[in-house]
Structure 1
C-alpha cells in the first residue's frame, strides 16, 4: 500500500515531467497573454459600436460577471484539480468525457494553423508602416499587391510576401514551445505582456492627440439605451466575453494544470477576467480615437468609416497612418501590438495540443513540439501563403469560432454540471486556497446562466448563416471548409479518445495528493458523488 510520501513523490515527478509555472504572477501573465489577442483589438470596438455604444458596456459587464468569469473558474478548477491537459483532465473527471478534451485539442490545432497567418500579415505591415508601402489605396494594396487574392477559389499559387513572415512566425513559436512551460511560455509572457501594455498605451495616447479623436469617442460611448431591449445585443455581449477570455476550448484547463497546488485560482481568475476587459476598453478608446481622426480627415461621419476585423486592421488603419502626424510611429505601435498579442495567444493555443500529446504518449517536450508544430506549420504555409489564403482563412475562422468553440464549450459545461455533477467538488477545490469563495451562486451561473447565454449566441449564429451564405461565398467552399470541418472536429476528438494512454497514467480521479480539498486517499470508490472515482459510469467512448 502506498503512503502519503509515495504519493507526493509520484506527483512531484509527474509535475516535473510536464513542467510548471514558477509563480502565480507568471501564470496570470500567461493567462492574460492568451486572453488578450487579436479579437480584443479589432473585434471588441466594432462589436461595442454596433450594439449600442456606451449602453453595450452594461450587458458586457453582466456577461463578464455571470458567464465569463464563472466559466473561466470552471476551466481553472478542472485543470488545477486534475493536473493534466484537457483530455487527461476530462478523463480524470470521468472516463467517458475524455473525447470532449480531444475535441478541444482538434479545435486548437485548426485555430493555430490559420491564426499564425494573421500574425504574419501584421508582422509584414509593421515594416510597411515605416514608408506607408500601401500607397493611396490600402484596400487595393492589401487584396492585390500584398495577398494577390483573385477570384474565390482554392489555388496553389504561392505569395512570397506572406510565405517568409509566416515561416518566421512558426520558427519563433516552435522555439518558444520547445523551451518549455516556464522558460518558453512563462518567460515570453513576462517579457511580451508588459511590452504590449506599454506599446498599446502609447498608441492610445497618440490616437487621443489626433484631430477628431473626440468625435470618435463620442461615436463609441454615446449610449443607445434602446439596444438593451434587443436579444442580439445581449447575445453579442456574451459571445464577445466568451471568445475573448479563451474559455471552453482547453487553453485555461491546460494552463491551470501548470500552477502549483496551493495557489489562489479564484483571485487569479478575477485578475485575468478584469485585465482582459480593461484591455478591450483601452483598445476601444484607441481605435475609435483614430477612426474619429479618419472621419474628420475624409469629411465623413464616424459611422461611415467604422469597420472591424481584417478591414479595420489592414485597410482602415493604414489609411489613418498615411494621414496622421507621426504616422510611422502609430503604425509600428499598432501592428507591433497585433504581433505581440497574436504571439502570446498562439503559443497558448498550440500548447493545448502539445500538452495533450505529451500526456497521452509520454514524449519529451522537444519531440511533442516537433510532432505538433511541424505539421501545423506546413499546413499553415501550404494553405495561407497562397493567393486563396484569405478566403480559406475567413471561412475556417468563421465556422470554427461560431460552431466549433461554441458547441464544445456549451456541451462541456452541461456535461460537467449535469451529467458528471462535478460542480460541488470543483467549487470545494477552488475554495481551499481561493478568495472570495465560490458557492451556490457560482454553481447556478455555471450550470444555468452561462450555458443559456451560449445557447442563445449559438441559435442566433445558426439563424444568420442559414438565412444567407456567409459573405456570399460559394456553397462548396462553405460546405467543405465550414460545415464539414465543424462536423469532423468532434469525430476526430472521440476517435483520439480511443487510443490507449501511456503506461502508468493515473486516470481514476485526480492524481493522488493533487486535490487539496480532499485527503490523499480520496479516490475512494465508496463515494458515488465524487466524479472520476472507481464508479466509471460513462466508460471510454
Structure 2
C-alpha cells in the first residue's frame, strides 16, 4: 500500500488508499447516534422484531442513497455545492442547503464531545456523586429555563476550545495527513475501547435481563407504521447520507475506486457497530435494573443525552471497576463524536475552498472560528442543552429529510442523470448496481421519506416540542429550518471565485467505454 498523496487531474488531494476512505466513511457513520439512539429506538420499536424493518430500511434506502452520494461525489469530484452545480447548474442551491445542515449540526455536535471529554475526566473520581441527574443539569451545565442566555458555562467552554482547535489543525493538515490519519488511529481505538466496555458489561449481574429486554421480539410492533418510520429514520441519520458528507468524502477518492463495494462495507460496518452498542447499553441497563430491583422497562432515560450523561453515570457509580468503565464509555463517546464531527466540518470547509478559491488552511481556520463562535454563543451557555435538543430535532427530522427528498427528485426527475450515475458506479466498481436502483431512488425513497416528513411536521405543528414555549420552538426550531433555506439562497447567489470550471468533464470509466464518454459529453453540455 502506498502512502503518497495522489492528486486528481485538477490537483485535488485524494485518500492514500481505499482502506483510508472506508475507515473515514465508517468513522463518520459510527457516531453518537449509534451509541445513544439506536438501542432505545430498537427497544421501543419491538426489540428483536425491530431488526426486520431496520434491515429492510438499510437495503432499500440506506445503501441505495449512500451509493447515490458516492456517485455524485466521485463523478463530479467536488463538495456538494459544486458537485450538484456540475451535474446540473440549477442544483447548486441543494448543495448549499446540505452544507448549511452540516454547519448547523457541527456547531452543537462539538458541544456534546466537550461534555464527553469532561465526563471522561470526571470518571476517575466519580465527580457526579450519588445524584447524576442533579450534577449534569445543575453542577455541570447550570441549566436554566428555555430562553436566550449569554452566560457561558466554564466546564463546557474549556474542552470545547480544545475540540475546535483540534478540528482546525486536522483540517489544515488535509485529507490524507489529517482526516485519514485521525480515522486510521481513532476508529480502531473506538472499536477496541467499546468492545472492552461491552465485554465488561456482559459480566455484570442482570446483563441477561437487559439483553432479553432488547432482543425479545414484539411481532405486533411490525404493524405499526411509526416503527417502520423509526427504522428508516435511524438508518438515515446514522449513515451520514443525503446531507453532503459522503459526497465530499467520495470526491477525494481516486479514479480507480471500488465505490459500491466500499459502500457495502461502510453500511454493514455501521449497522454492526449499532448492534454492538445495543448489546453494551442494554447489558448495562440490565445491571441498573437489577441493582434497583425493577424491570428494564421501568427505567427512564434509555436514549439521547439522558442515557449518556445521567443513566450511565448512575450505573457506573454502582459497579465494580467504575473508573475504568466510565473512562472507556466516555472515551469511546468522545472518539465516536470526533470522527463524525471532522466529516461534518470538512464538508463545509471544502465547499468554501471551492466557492471562494481558498487554501485548505484558510478555509479550515475561517470555518472553524465561525463554527466555534456559534457553538459558544448558543450551546455552551446555561440554556445550551435545551437549544441543542431543539435545533437537533428540526435539523435532523426536517432538514435532512427535505435534503434527501430533494436530492432524489433532482437527480432522477429534473437533472435526469440517474442512469449516467449508475453507469459510472458500475464502471468503477466490482459490485454492479442494477436497474432496481432507479425506481428505489426516484419513487420509493422520496415517497416514504415524504410520508415521514409530513407526519413529523404535523406532529410538531400540532403538539409543539417537549413542552417548550411556542415562541422558543418558533425561534430555535422552525427558525433553524428557515436559516438553512436562507443560507442556501445567499451562498448560491454569490459569484464563484474558485473552481467553477465550465469545461469540467466527469471522469470516464477506467475502460474508456464509448457509451460512458457519450454521457460525459452530455453532462458537459448540461453544466454550461
Normalised by the size of structure 2, how large is the TM-score? 0.95
Give 1:453 shift.
2.5
SS at match of 2:71: helix
The answer to whether 1:192 aligns with 2:193 is no
Q: Which of 40, 43, 46 is the aligned partner of 1:49?
A: 43
Q: For each residue in 1:271-328, what CA deviation from the matched residue of structure 2 results, as whole angstroms up to 9, or x when unmatched?
A: 0000000000000000000000000101111012152001100010001100111111
Closer, same or farther: CA 521–302 of 1 in aligned 2, 3 Å: closer
Q: For each residue in 1:488-519, what CA deviation from the matched residue of structure 2 results, as whole angstroms up to 9, or x when unmatched?
A: 212321321122223663246644x4654756
SS at match of 1:350: helix
Q: For each residue in 1:155-198, what CA deviation from the matched residue of structure 2 results, as whole angstroms up to 9, or x when unmatched?
A: 11121111101111111111111110000000000000000000
Q: Which of 258, 264, 267 is the aligned partner of 2:258?
A: 264
Question: Match for residue 489 of structure 1?
Answer: 484
Question: Match for residue 219 of structure 1?
Answer: 213
Task: Please give the alpha-carbon distance, in whole angstroms, between the structure 1 residues aligned to 2:138 and 2:54.
Answer: 37
Question: Match for residue 525 of structure 2?
Answer: 534
Stretches of 4+ aligned residues off by more than 4 angstroms: 513-524
Closer, same or farther: CA 209–504 of 1 in aligned 2, 3 Å: closer
Q: Which of 391, 398, 401 is the aligned partner of 2:393?
A: 398
Question: Match for residue 223 of structure 2?
Answer: 229
Task: Please give the alpha-carbon distance, in whole angstroms, between the structure 2 residues aligned to 1:530 and 1:459.
Answer: 39
Q: For each residue in 1:72-108, what CA deviation from the matched residue of structure 2 results, as whole angstroms up to 9, or x when unmatched?
A: 0000000000011111100110001011001111111
1:78-227 to 2 correspondences below 5 Å: 78-227=72-221
Question: Match for residue 29 of structure 1?
Answer: 23
> Contact conserved, 2:113 with 2:333, CA < 8 A, in 1?
yes
Q: For each residue in 1:113-141, what CA deviation from the matched residue of structure 2 results, as whole angstroms up to 9, or x when unmatched?
A: 11100000011001111111101110011
> Contact conserved, 2:508 with 2:516, CA < 8 A, in 1?
no
Task: Please give the alpha-carbon distance, in whole angstroms, between the structure 2 residues aligned to 1:521 and 1:236.
Answer: 41
> Contact conserved, 2:505 with 2:521, CA < 8 A, in 1?
no
Question: Match for residue 348 of structure 1?
Answer: 343
Task: Please give the alpha-carbon distance, in whole angstroms, between the structure 1 residues aligned to 2:48 and 2:15.
Answer: 38
Count the aligned residue pairs. Answer: 522
Closer, same or farther: CA 132–413 of 1 in aligned 2, 3 Å: same
The answer to whether 1:248 aligns with 2:239 is no
Q: For each residue in 1:368-426, what CA deviation from the matched residue of structure 2 results, as whole angstroms up to 9, or x when unmatched?
A: 11111111111112222211111111111111111111111111111111111111110
Task: Please give the alpha-carbon distance, in whole angstroms, between the structure 2 residues aligned to 1:440 and 1:199.
Answer: 42
Task: Please give the alpha-carbon distance, in whole angstroms, between the structure 1 residues aligned to 2:118 and 2:508.
Answer: 45
> Contact conserved, 1:416 with 1:422, CA < 8 A, in 2?
yes
Gaps spanning 5+ residues in structure 2: where?
A: 1-6
> Contact conserved, 1:428 with 1:517, CA < 8 A, in 2?
no
Gaps spanning 5+ residues in structure 1: where?
A: 1-10
Task: Please give the alpha-carbon distance, in whole angstroms, between the structure 2 residues aligned to 1:173 and 1:159.
Answer: 21
Closer, same or farther: CA 503–218 of 1 in aligned 2, 3 Å: closer
Task: Please give the alpha-carbon distance, in whole angstroms, between the structure 2 residues aligned to 1:456 and 1:334.
Answer: 36
Question: Match for residue 307 of structure 2?
Answer: 312
1:465-504 to 2 correspondences below 5 Å: 465-502=460-497
Task: Please give the alpha-carbon distance, in whole angstroms, between the structure 2 residues aligned to 1:497 and 1:71.
Answer: 24
Task: Please give the alpha-carbon distance, in whole angstroms, between the structure 2 residues aligned to 1:452 and 1:237.
Answer: 16
Question: Match for residue 300 of structure 1?
Answer: 294
Closer, same or farther: CA 519–374 of 1 in aligned 2, 3 Å: farther
Alpha-carbon RMSD across the aligned residues, in angstroms, is 1.9
SS at match of 2:124: helix
Q: Which of 270, 276, 279 is the aligned partner of 1:282?
A: 276
> Contact conserved, 2:61 with 2:232, CA < 8 A, in 1?
yes
1:426-441 to 2 correspondences below 5 Å: 426-441=421-436
Task: Please give the alpha-carbon distance, in whole angstroms, between the structure 1 residues aligned to 2:366 and 2:152.
Answer: 25
Question: Match for residue 459 of structure 2?
Answer: 464
Q: For each residue in 1:423-454, what CA deviation from the matched residue of structure 2 results, as whole angstroms up to 9, or x when unmatched?
A: 11101000112122101111222222222231
Closer, same or farther: CA 224–369 of 1 in aligned 2, 3 Å: same
> Contact conserved, 1:88 with 1:507, CA < 8 A, in 2?
no
Question: Match for residue 4 of structure 1?
Answer: none
Task: Please give the alpha-carbon distance, in whole angstroms, between the structure 2 residues aligned to 1:360 and 1:517.
Answer: 32
> Contact conserved, 2:423 with 2:516, CA < 8 A, in 1?
no
SS at match of 1:532: helix
> Contact conserved, 1:87 with 1:101, CA < 8 A, in 2?
yes
SS at match of 1:450: helix
> Contact conserved, 1:95 with 1:532, CA < 8 A, in 2?
no
| 501-510 or 64-73, larger mean C-alpha shift | 501-510
Question: Match for residue 455 of structure 1?
Answer: 450
Task: Please give the alpha-carbon distance, in whole angstroms, between the structure 2 residues aligned to 1:432 and 1:119.
Answer: 40
The answer to whether 1:385 aligns with 2:380 is yes
SS at match of 2:436: helix
Give 1:482 shift.
1.0
Give 1:13 shift.
5.0
SS at match of 1:259: coil
| 29-38 or 428-437, larger mean C-alpha shift | 428-437
Normalised by the size of structure 1, how large is the TM-score? 0.93
Closer, same or farther: CA 514–530 of 1 in aligned 2, 3 Å: closer
